[in-house]
Amino acid sequence: MADVKSGSKLLVGGFGLSGVPENLLRALRDTGVGKLTVVSSNVGTSERGLGLLFQSKQITKMIGSYVGENELFEQQYLSGEIEVELVPMGTLAERMRAAGAGIPAFFTRTGSGTLVHRGGIPARYTKEGAVGLGSAPRESRMFRDPMHKNIYDEFLLEEAIAGDFAFVKAWKADTEGNLVYRMTARNHNPAVATAGKITIAEVEEIVPAGTLDPDLVHTPGIYVQRVVQGERMGVIERLTLADDQASVFSPSTKPGDALRERIVRRAALMLNDGDYVNLGIGMPTLVSNYVPEGVTIKLQSENGMLGVGPFPNRGDEDCDLINAGKQTVTALDGASYFGADQSFAMIRGGHCQVTVLGTMQVAANGDMANYMIPGKLVKGMGGAMDLVCSGARVIVTMEHTDRKGNPKILPECTLPLTGHQVVDTIVTEKGVFEVLPKGEGLVLTEIAEDETVDSIREATLADFTVSDDLCTMLQ
């Protein structure tokens, strides 16, 4: 850390608390160096990961995607103490990968039609809570999608992100700087490693050159200038166990869970045999528990895994094996691990058939908003903008109204959009809506046994038509 100067720009690997170079961050905190710009997909928690640098107020600007688990960061952002640039997670991974590849910029459809495109995402608040600085609009051009040639759409120009230093976490290194990662702890580390002028790798074991199988090296030593051996932290952010229902989801644990189970059971019936499926955090992660017998799907997790299996039993959990919700999982036969940049290449390239997401609001034309309430709540868009722009079928699973009883299906979204005209199907505890093509409205196709069309209209601000084939909600 000796040559990390005040005002440096740092790229930091990790996803949640997995694959985070904790020992490097502790050492940086102890230097007291400030006015740092930090680029990382997540911001850790208030007590771990990058939270250490927010505690000591060494960060003045944060460029990241998902910030929902760090209340300290949120407080500093909303009170105007730090500047923030929110970037879709796949775009962030690609901006770092591009920098390491010498590509100054690229075009992507992710964020088209949102504030990422138009500008105006709050970048800095005043002490009084007003927006003091908003994000700049992106240049855009019309292109045909290379994987879907019938789609002609607006693509945004995104510039590469390099750093003065890159901090990464790997499992093993040799004395040539070659790195091997372990399972989903790989996440953003490979892309980060390529984009630093000086890359420092924190590893659990250093072995002599020639020990690692060259065929299994994930990051070649040409990208790595320094290697530091550090103790294994073994942190699990969300321990989730199949044999501990209190850690998962059970109708008996909370009021309303039976209704949530109804939602995810219905969504699971929409998956087809052979589908590659991405499940968002929260309620969508539970959909895999209810896939019908005879239907086999492959779950893709945006942090870098294909073939996600069920939650482990106690004693089988592994801190290096998590899903996008930071929950402990297992791997099915035939599973694979990869970096987040490759994960989002799968997503943007249209290789997943279905994505299931939660949201705060859905509009009658298929718009959705799920990542922030300006001035009050900031979660960050994570990978949602990449997912909804991928061409996959988008299924929204959500409760029909918010905690105060306000409708969440609206004529127009009032919160910043995650995607414009991207939702195909809405599943709530009250029924199922299909979104007509080109944003032409909603059709109620299924209704819960304990609901009527009138009761659903009372809980829905958006207009909708009723299908001639309206049926009882399938379970």
pLDDT value of residue 191: 98
Whether 302 sits among the annotated catalytic residues: the reply is yes
CA distance 336 to 334: 7
pLDDT of residue 149: 66
Sign of the alpha-carbon dihedral angle for 105, 109, 111, 114: positive
Domains, the chain = 9-104+160-229 (3.40.1080.10), 245-472 (3.40.1080.10)
> pTM for the whole thing?
0.94
- Whole-angstrom CA distances from 468 to 339, 423, 425, 455, 465 are 47, 22, 17, 18, 9
Predicted local confidence at residue 127, as pLDDT: 87
Residues 6+ apart with CB under 8 A from 188: 13, 14, 15, 19, 40, 41, 93, 96, 339, 340, 341
Largest Cα–Cα distance of the chain, in whole Å?
72
Q: Which member of 69, 94, 202, 302 is catalytic?
A: 302
Written as tens digits, the pLDDT of the chain (475 aa) is 999 999 999 999 999 999 999 999 999 999 999 999 999 999 999 999 999 999 999 999 999 999 878 999 999 999 999 999 999 999 999 999 999 999 999 999 999 999 999 999 999 999 888 999 999 999 999 998 887 767 789 999 999 999 999 999 999 999 999 999 999 999 999 999 999 999 999 999 999 999 999 999 999 999 999 999 998 888 899 999 988 877 775 443 455 678 899 999 999 999 999 999 999 988 998 898 899 999 999 999 999 999 999 999 999 999 999 999 999 999 999 999 999 999 999 999 999 999 999 999 999 999 999 999 988 888 899 999 999 999 999 999 999 999 999 999 999 999 999 999 999 999 999 999 999 998 899 999 999 999 999 999 999 999 999 999 999 999 8
Provide the strand spans (E) within 280-337: 298-301, 305-308, 331-337
